[in-house]
Amino acid sequence: MSASAKTPDPAPLTIDEPFLSPIERPRGLMLRLVYSMSRRQFGKVMTPLKVFVARLPLAFGRFTGKIGQLDKKLTLPRETVMLIREQVARINVCLFCIDIGRAFTIKSSVNQAKFDALEHYATSSLFTDADRAALDYATELTRDKRVDPATFSRLRSFWSERQICEIVWLVASEHFYNITNLGLNIHSDMLCELAKAARAS
């Protein structure tokens, strides 16, 4: 092939752009419906839908949605679920997940001061010993991919065996979200700001 016939190199990406261009106009009826539902729920079509879900068979999108449906079957307090997901996202530095997690806390009217203090959960008086045990466990599992037996023993003193398995589910499924977004360079969609504006209106 001659030099003049070569396919031009794609334009270099900026640090804030997804690695794949968002698909703004999906072809299938079901995907258009999913986009519409996202606009209604969040005020915009979420970038992971446009970058990741739109390029895969619908079964993959249904799997992603199933995670949220299964969360509704958890016996853990809703605040605990949100704290664990947010902590895992923080450790993995998934900006999209940190943002959407906080948006959910705003929509659910949970204690925002507690989420503001999450970085200091070990010392903040806003957190209970049960909170700390769950967050220590989630932190170690996320950061080290293993858990010290003493950390597990402390967790077990506050939470049932089912709830412990639910905490493992939260850490594992949050990694799916985080790695999907990190792998495609998907950053914050500013959903917190949209949630705050919706509450103020």
Which tokens go with 121?
């959960």
Which tokens go with 37?
């539902």
Counting residues of the chain whose pLDDT is more than 90, the rounded percentage is 87
What confidence tens digit (pLDDT) does each residue in 24-44 have? 999 999 999 999 999 999 999
Distance separating alpha carbons of residues 168 and 38, to the nearest angstrom: 28
| Radius of gyration of the chain, Cα coordinates, nearest whole angstrom | 19
Does residue 14 carry a pLDDT above 90?
no
Does residue 9 carry a pLDDT above 70?
no
User: How does 37-76 read in b/e, with b if 16+ C-beta sit within 10 Å?
Assistant: ebeeebbebbbbbbbbbbeeeeeebeebeeeeeebeebeb
DSSP SS3 for 77: coil
More confident residue, 195 or 121: 121
Q: Distances in Å between the alpha carbon of 63 and those of 60, 178, 182? A: 5, 15, 19
Does residue 2 carry a pLDDT above 50?
no
Of 4-18, 92-106, 153-167, the poorest mean pLDDT is in: 4-18
Under the banding of pLDDT at 50, 70 and 90, the label for residue 198 is: confident
Q: At what angle do helices 161-183 and 58-71 cross, to 10 degrees?
A: 140
Q: Distances in Å between the alpha carbon of 18 and those of 99, 185, 191? A: 16, 5, 17
- Residue ranges per structural domain of the chain: 74-200
What confidence tens digit (pLDDT) does each residue in 61-74 have? 999 999 999 999 99
Distance separating alpha carbons of residues 164 and 157, to the nearest angstrom: 11
Domain at 74-200: CATH code: 1.20.1290.10
